[in-house]
């Protein structure tokens, strides 16, 4: 809980759209955070009025948000369509209970792999959804430039993370 609060404060300072921390009651075991408007991505993707153009646009924005998160050397740890809120064009990332500071490209690839698996399993009607996420992820890097060198080291590039995602995908698929 304390780690989640620290990471939320760090992310807010970096301009990421995550809930603000209002209070932390360590002894009482409560973290009070800002309410963010929007609908979980799972609801948006399952809404019959959602068009393929909307999905492409939203998932590219999700990819860009995830890349901004990763550029701060933070992995989400539970990047699911329940933990991404959509409010118009705004993408909010929530639920950082499993988040951590990382510099190993593997952890970033796994972060994207979790989202890939959930998109495929829970939203099969949007075939190739992860491709839109990856496009947004890579385009964000192009727009922002090379990943920074932070206190703990150099953050892997978007291309390195994408390459690792492809590697992770081949290792975890059932072969038989």
Residue 1 located in a structural domain: no
Answer yes or no: is 9 within a domain. Answer: no
Please check whether residue 108 lies inside any domain of the structure. Answer: yes
**Using CA atoms, how far apart are residues 83 and 72, in angstroms rounded to an integer?**
18
CA angle 78–45–124, rounded 5-degree value: 80
pLDDT of residue 171: 84
Q: What single-letter DSSP state applies at residue 76?
A: -
Residues in the chain: 176
Query: Is residue 5 situated within a structural domain?
Result: no
Please name the residue that has the structure tokens 């989202």. Answer: 115
CATH number of the domain that residue 131 is part of: 1.10.510.10
31 assigned to some structural domain: no
> Quick one: which of 116, 156, 120, 154 has its CA closest to 134?
116
What per-residue confidence (pLDDT) applies to 172? 72
Q: Is residue 97 part of a domain?
A: yes
140 and 68 Cβ atoms separated by less than 8 Å: yes
Location of structure tokens 């072969």: 175
pLDDT of residue 141: 96
Counted domains in the chain: 1
* 14 within a domain of the structure (yes/no): no
By annotation, the residues acting in catalysis are 78
> pLDDT of 52-105, one tens digit each?
999 999 999 999 999 999 999 999 999 999 999 999 999 999 999 999 999 999
Instruction: Tell me the longest C-alpha to C-alpha distance in the chain.
Output: 51
Indicate if the pLDDT at residue 173 is higher than 90. no
Report yes or no on 30 lying in a domain: no
Rounded Cα distance between 59 and 67, Å, is 12
Which residue range is the domain that position 67 belongs to? 37-172
Q: What share of the chain is helix, strand, coil (3-state, %, to 5)?
A: 50, 15, 35
pLDDT per residue as tens digits for the range 12-54: 999 999 999 999 998 898 999 999 999 999 999 999 999 999 9
């Amino acid at each position: 809980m304390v780690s989640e609060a620290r990471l939320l404060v760090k992310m807010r300072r970096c301009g990421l759209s995550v809930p603000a921390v209002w209070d932390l009651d360590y002894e009482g075991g409560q973290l009070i955070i800002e309410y963010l408007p929007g609908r979980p991505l799972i609801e948006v993707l399952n809404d019959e009025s959602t068009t393929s153009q909307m999905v492409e646009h939203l998932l590219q924005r999700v990819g860009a948000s995830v890349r901004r998160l990763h550029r701060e050397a933070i992995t989400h740890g539970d990047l699911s369509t329940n933990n991404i809120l959509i409010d118009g064009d705004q993408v909010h990332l929530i639920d950082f209970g499993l988040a951590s500071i990382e510099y190993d490209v593997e952890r970033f690839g796994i972060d994207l792999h979790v989202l890939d698996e959930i998109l495929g399993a829970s939203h099969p009607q949007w075939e190739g959804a992860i491709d839109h996420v990856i496009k947004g992820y890579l385009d964000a890097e192009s727009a922002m430039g090379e990943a920074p060198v932070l206190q703990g080291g150099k953050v892997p590039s978007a291309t390195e993370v994408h390459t690792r995602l492809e590697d992770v995908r081949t290792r975890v698929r059932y072969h038989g």
